């Protein structure tokens, strides 16, 4: 059943899928123009390897999470916090790469195709580019609060990305790809910030559960509490929508709020700076 929790996965699947498939389409088109059609099958092979590598990565993460979750509830909280932080670190490297290379991706891909003209080189290039996007999708699914809805949204987003890529590559439609990637990149930054804030919140919950710190400790101090308003992120419609889309909390801890929005502000600053 579709709900608001499908939206983040839909946007993420569409963005990462579109980038991966456009790169594959770019490689195929460039090989055709340079009369190296015999290497096209290696691009498809790399596509398949990249998808399989992403699936194996995802199965590994979920298997570890299931094993830890069966052991102890508190350990599961700690695992979710640590895994989310590791995911944020990896995703942040992807975001930084996208901000730095978003205006030169076409020239970089064609240059790499030229410098790796062998079958193995082309296969590796395609598989690495696809696996990178796939790993990012897997990390967001893994750390999502509603895995089923996020996965469903991701599948729908990837399907939409395939359709758009085919239409664009065959010149059947013209869309502003730069605008799409800029909007979705900002959304990706918001989601990564949400993930970081969630990891901090879970770690604080873990400390409270094992009674390492007293419940009155300053680390548990809330910045504000809007639970009695329409912005309540667990029950009110507006709050739920904001929570699912941009990671809004109606009663965040001070440390959680500072870290989450400090992260978001920093990467949006890098994004704006790179545009200039």
pLDDT band at 178 (very low <50, low <70, confident <90, very high): confident
Domain assignment present for 165: yes
Domain assignment present for 39: yes
pLDDT at 61: 86
pLDDT at 78: 79
Distance, in Å, from the CA atom of 15 to the CA atom of 88, rounded to the nearest integer, reads: 18
Count Cβ neighbours within 10 Å for each residue of 128-156 and write b for 16 or more, e otherwise: ebbbbbbbbbbbbbbbbebeebbbbbbeb
SS3 104: coil
Location of structure tokens 């979705």: 184
HSE (side-chain half, CA atoms, 13 Å) at 95 = 25
- Residue 70 pLDDT greater than 80, yes or no: no
pLDDT digits (tens, 9 = 90+) for 217-236: 888 888 888 988 999 888 88
**Domains of the chain: total:** 1
Structure tokens at 151: 């996965």
Domain assignment present for 123: yes
The residues near 189 (Cβ < 8 Å, ≥ 6 apart) are: 95, 264, 267, 268, 271
Phi-psi region of 174 (alpha: psi -120 to 50; beta: other; left: phi over 0): beta
Neighbours of 217 (CB within 10 A): 12
Continuous H helices in 72-176: 73-101, 105-115, 119-143, 147-169
- Residue 177 pLDDT greater than 90, yes or no: no
Domain assignment present for 69: yes
60-65 long-range CB contacts below 8 Å, 24 or more apart?
Answer: 61/138, 61/139, 61/142, 62/142, 65/142
Domain assignment present for 98: yes
pLDDT band at 276 (very low <50, low <70, confident <90, very high): low
Domain assignment present for 103: yes
- Residue 31 pLDDT greater than 80, yes or no: yes
Domain assignment present for 188: yes
Neighbours of 218 (CB within 10 A): 9
Tell me the whole-structure pTM to 2 decimals. Answer: 0.81
Structural domain boundaries enclosing 230 = 6-275
CA 112 to chain centre: 25
Structure tokens at 168: 């664009």
Domain assignment present for 1: no
- Quick one: DSSP state of residue 276? -
- Residue 268 pLDDT greater than 90, yes or no: yes
């Amino acid at each position: 059943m579709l709900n608001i929790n499908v939206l983040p996965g839909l946007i993420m699947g569409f963005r990462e899928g579109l980038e991966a498939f456009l790169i594959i389409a770019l490689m195929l088109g460039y090989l055709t123009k340079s009369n190296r059609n015999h290497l096209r099958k290696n691009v498809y092979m790399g596509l398949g390897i990249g998808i399989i590598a992403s699936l194996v990565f995802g199965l590994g993460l979920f298997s570890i999470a299931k094993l830890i979750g069966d052991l102890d509830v508190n350990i599961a909280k700690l695992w979710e916090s640590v895994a989310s932080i590791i995911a944020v670190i990896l995703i942040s490297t992807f975001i930084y790469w996208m901000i730095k290379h978003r205006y030169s991706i076409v020239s970089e891909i064609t240059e790499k195709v030229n410098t790796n003209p062998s079958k193995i080189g082309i296969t590796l290039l395609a598989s690495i580019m696809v696996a990178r996007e796939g790993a990012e999708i897997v990390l967001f699914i893994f750390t999502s609060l509603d895995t089923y809805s996020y996965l469903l949204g991701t599948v729908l987003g990837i399907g939409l990305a395939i359709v758009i890529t085919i239409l664009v590559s065959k010149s059947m439609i013209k869309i502003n790809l730069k605008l799409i990637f800029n909007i979705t990149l900002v959304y990706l930054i918001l989601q990564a910030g949400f993930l970081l804030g969630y990891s901090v919140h879970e770690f604080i919950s873990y400390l409270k559960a094992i009674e390492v710190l007293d419940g009155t400790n300053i680390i548990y101090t809330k910045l504000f509490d809007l639970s009695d308003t329409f912005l309540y992120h667990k029950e009110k419609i507006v709050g739920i929508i904001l929570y699912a889309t941009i990671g809004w909390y109606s009663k965040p801890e001070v440390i959680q709020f500072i870290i989450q929005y400090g992260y978001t502000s920093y990467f949006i600053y890098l994004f704006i700076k790179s545009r200039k």
